[in-house]
Amino acid sequence: MTAVNGKGSAISLPISIRNVTKTYGTFTALDNVSLEIASGEFITLLGPSGSGKTTLLMVLAGFIRPASGEVRFGDRDVSLLPPHKRDVGMVFQNYALFPHMTVAGNVGYPLRLRGVAKSEIADRVQKVLALVQLGELGTRNIDQLSGGQRQRVALARAIVFEPRILLMDEPLSALDKKLREQMQIEVRHLHQRLGMTTVYVTHDQREALTMSDRVAVIDKGRFHQIGSPRDVYERPESRFIAEFIGESHLVAVSMRGGTAHYRDRPLQLAEPPRHPSGQQFLVMRPEKLKLLTGGEDGLNVFEGTAREIVYQGESTLLYVDLPDDVEVAIRQPATNVGPALPAPGTPVRLGLPAGDTMLVPAERAP
């Protein structure tokens, strides 16, 4: 199998999406979106439901024809190519396994379509089933499989014909949390081994951060930020991104002479605001905040009143009221050592390291 050779241009293709627009009546599902995906890249389209992420995936697969725009796989314009000629593997949210075929029948289906010799089909099906750790289950019927096994069969079926592009539409959303996290790692490893360009759709931001080389955050048919997981999490470009990815509380700040001020106190910033026009907000992530007991070097300090302690097992959240009805939260790892959290009603001081102090605009500049 050539696909198991590792990364390389022969087994993957870059994708270029240019100015794709799709409307349904007055509803704009995709609003002139463009995206360049590198060969072999694992990119995740992340967005809330109805954001257009699945629509874009369906455009790539050829099931939805955009109103305008262009899609290229490598040098080839595939905009008008029907789905069955695109040679992309696809995994659907509900797996869509064929119940009238066995596991091996399902996985062998794309090979039979391509006129591969019978003996070779058996061989390749066996290999790919071993790859997804289902080596023994080829003769099983679909209804005898667990949810996780179905997921693996769907994956095996989508990669058995060695497509250079793999599309996945929320493939893990039907699994329970534990299995989902395990499969995230497995899919990631599989991608590292096979190396095909992978476009992955999810509404789960943690999943997106875990799996991807790059995350493209999409909402209302437009990309709001495209970047590495770390970039998207650590350096959100807008209020929407900061709130959608991870947990954060936003605190309004005022700009005076190029410097951000919180309640007339200047703030030390990690970098100047990237979209300085309009109202700016300070991104306060619970795990970045520190409960101050003494020194405050290199920290922006906020004073407030402890309101409520929420025990969450591996950590504890302390909600703090800042002046002007602003609420923030601070996360403390759950240990039995160290100082107890302040009781509700007592004044607290919070510190945010300068390197973690980010500003986002209310709305991203148009």
β 76-77/249-256 pair status = unpaired
Supply the minimum distance, in Å, between the C-beta of residue 289 and another protein.
27
The H or E element that residue 265 is part of is: strand 265-266
Supply the minimum distance, in Å, between the C-beta of residue 65 and another protein.
5
Span from 178-186, 218-226, 290-298, 341-349 in contact with another protein (CB under 8 A): 218-226
Supply the minimum distance, in Å, between the C-beta of residue 170 and another protein.
12
Query: Per DSSP, what are the bridge partners of residue 256?
Result: 259
Single-letter residue type at 335: T
Nearer to another protein, 17 or 251 (CB): 17
Nearer to another protein, 93 or 268 (CB): 93
Query: Quick one: which of 6, 10, 114, 120 contacts another protein (CB under 8 A)?
Result: 114
Give 102's DSSP letter: B
Q: Binding mask 223-262 vs another protein (x if CB under 8 A, - otherwise)?
A: x-xxxx--x-----x-------------------------
19 forms part of the interface with another protein (CB under 8 A): yes
Span from 82-90, 131-139, 250-258, 292-300 in contact with another protein (CB under 8 A): 82-90
278 forms part of the interface with another protein (CB under 8 A): no
Asked if residue 202 lies in contact with residue 56, where contact means CB atoms within 8 angstroms, the answer is no
Supply the minimum distance, in Å, between the C-beta of residue 130 and another protein.
20
Say how far apart CA 52 and CA 314 lie, in whole Å: 35
80 forms part of the interface with another protein (CB under 8 A): yes
Nearer to another protein, 226 or 260 (CB): 226
Supply the minimum distance, in Å, between the C-beta of residue 341 and another protein.
38
Q: Is 161 helix (H, G, I), strand (E, B) or coil?
A: coil
167 forms part of the interface with another protein (CB under 8 A): yes
Burial class (CB in 10 A: 0-12, 13-18, 19+), 269: middle
Q: Say which residues have a Cβ less than 8 Å from residue 343's Cβ, sequence separation at least 6.
A: 306
Say how far apart CA 352 and CA 343 lie, in whole Å: 21
142 forms part of the interface with another protein (CB under 8 A): yes
Span from 46-54, 97-105, 253-261, 290-298 in contact with another protein (CB under 8 A): 97-105
Asked if residue 184 lies in contact with residue 104, where contact means CB atoms within 8 angstroms, the answer is no
Query: Quick one: which of 11, 29, 90, 121 contacts another protein (CB under 8 A)?
Result: 90
Nearer to another protein, 173 or 305 (CB): 173
What is the per-residue burial (b if ≥16 Cβ within 10 Å, else e) of 323-332?
eeebebbbbb
Angle, CA of 77, 81 and 82, to the nearest 5°:
160
Say how far apart CA 360 and CA 357 lie, in whole Å: 10
Say how far apart CA 297 and CA 92 lie, in whole Å: 51
88 forms part of the interface with another protein (CB under 8 A): yes
Supply the minimum distance, in Å, between the C-beta of residue 99 and another protein.
4
65 forms part of the interface with another protein (CB under 8 A): yes
152 forms part of the interface with another protein (CB under 8 A): no
Query: Per DSSP, what are the bridge partners of residue 301?
Result: 351
**Residue ranges of the alpha helices (H) in 175-333?**
177-194, 205-211, 229-234, 239-244
What is the contact surface with another protein in residues (CB under 8 A)?
Answer: 18-19, 31-36, 38, 41, 61-63, 65-70, 79-80, 82-90, 92, 94, 96-100, 109-110, 113-114, 142-143, 157-158, 161, 167, 214, 222-223, 225-228, 231, 237
